[in-house]
A and B are shown apart, each in its own frame.
Chain A
Amino acid sequence: MKAVLKVGGILLLASSLLAQTTAPTKKTARKAVSTSAADIQALKEAVAAQQQQIQTLQQQLQQTNQQLQQSSQQYQTTQQQLQQAQQAASDAQQKATALESSVAQKDSVDKLNAQYADIQTTLTNNAVSAQDEQKRMTGLENTLGRFRWTGDVRIRGEDFFQSYSGCPNCADRNRVRVRVRFGFEGKLNDDFIAGVALATGSLGDPTTTNETFTNNFDRKTIGLDKGYITYNPVAHKWLSLTGGKFAYLWQRTQITGDPDTNPEGFDIKLNKDFSSVPVIKNANIQFMQLFYNEANGTGGLFHGHDSYAVGGQIGGRLQLTKWWSMTPSFLVLNWRLPDAILNSSFFSTQQATTSNINILLPGTTTVAQFPITGEGPGCAASSGGLQPSQACIFSANGMTNSTYADSAGHMHFLSDFLYADVILNNTFKTKWSRLPINLLAEYEDNLGASKHPFDFTVKGAVALPGAAVNTNLGSQSHVYYADISIGQQKNRGDIQVGYAWLRHEQDATIASFNESDQRAPSNILQHRVYALWRIRQNTTAAVTWWHGRTLDPFLQNAALAPSLQVSDPTKAHYLAPGQTEPWLNRFQFDLIYTF
Chain B
Amino acid sequence: MRRGLLIALFLVGMSKGAHAVESGELTMTIVSAEQKTHDRVVAWVNDTPIYQPDVYFHVAVRSGESVFEAEYEPVSQWETLPVFWKPGVEVQGRIRGHSLFLKRPNGVEIRFVILKRTAVAAKKKH
- Complex contact A235–B98 (CB within 8 A): yes
Asked if A496 CB lies within 8 Å of chain B CBs, one says yes
Interface size on B, residues (CB 8 A): 30
B49 at the interface (CB under 8 A from A): yes
**Across-interface contacts of A24 in B (CB, < 8 A):** none
Binds B, one of A10-18, A75-83, A138-146: A138-146
> Which of A377-385, A404-412, A483-491 lies on the face that meets chain B?
A483-491
A532 in contact with B45 given A190-B98, A233-B18, A490-B53 (CB within 8 Å): yes
Interface residues as binary, B96-115 with A (CB distance below 8 Å gives 1, 0 otherwise): 01110000001110000111
Interchain CB contact under 8 A, B75 and A594: no
Q: How far is the CA of A528 from the CA of B74 in the complex (A)?
A: 39
CB <8 Å contact, A489 and B48: yes
Please choose the segment from B1-9, B26-34, B36-44, B87-95 that sits at the chain A interface, where 4 or more of its residues have CB less than 8 A away: B36-44
Interface residues of A in 478-511 (CB under 8 A from B): 483, 485, 488-491, 496, 498, 500
A565-580 residues at the B interface, CB under 8 angstroms? none
How would residues 513 to 533 of chain A score, 1 for a CB under 8 Å from any chain B CB and 0 otherwise?
Answer: 001010000000000101010
Contacting pair B48 A235 (CB below 8 A): no
**Interchain CB contact under 8 A, B45 and A542:** yes
* A41 located at the interface, meaning its Cβ lies under 8 Å from any Cβ of chain B in the complex: no
Contact of B51 among A131, A190, A490 (CB under 8 A): A490
Asked whether any CB of chain B lies closer than 8 Å to the CB of A254, the reply is: yes
A544 on the interface (CB 8 Å rule)?
Answer: yes
Interface residues of B (CB under 8 A from A): 14, 16-18, 39, 42-53, 74-76, 79, 97-99, 106-108, 113-115
Please name the residue on chain A nearest to B15 by beta carbon.
A235
Whether A253 lies near B47 (C-beta < 8 A) is yes
Among all A-B residue pairs, the 6 with the closest Cβ atoms: A145-B75, A235-B17, A259-B44, A235-B18, A234-B98, A141-B75
Q: Is A515's CB under 8 angstroms from B46's CB?
A: yes
State how many angstroms separate the Cβ of A93 from the closest Cβ of chain B: 56
Query: Which of B49, B79, B108, B115 meets A489, CB within 8 Å?
Result: B49
Across chains A and B, the number of contacting residue pairs, with CB separation under 8 Å, is 85
List of B residues within 8 angstroms of A254 by Cβ: 46-47
Min CB distance, B44 to chain A, in Å?
Answer: 4
List, in ascending order, chain A residues with CB within 8 A of B99's CB: 190
A135–B51 alpha-carbon span in the complex (Å): 32
Complex contact B17–A236 (CB within 8 A): yes
Query: Which residue in chain A gives the minimum CB-CB distance to B109?
Result: A138
Question: What residues of chain B lie closer than 8 Å to A154, measured between beta carbons?
Answer: 43
Instruction: Flag if B42 contacts A594 (CB, 8 Å).
Output: yes
B69 smallest CB distance to A (angstroms):
11
Judge whether A594 and B50 touch: CB under 8 Å: yes
Enumerate A527-551 residues with CB–CB distance to B below 8 Å: 528, 530, 532, 534, 540, 542, 544
C-alpha spacing A483/B75, complex, angstroms: 37
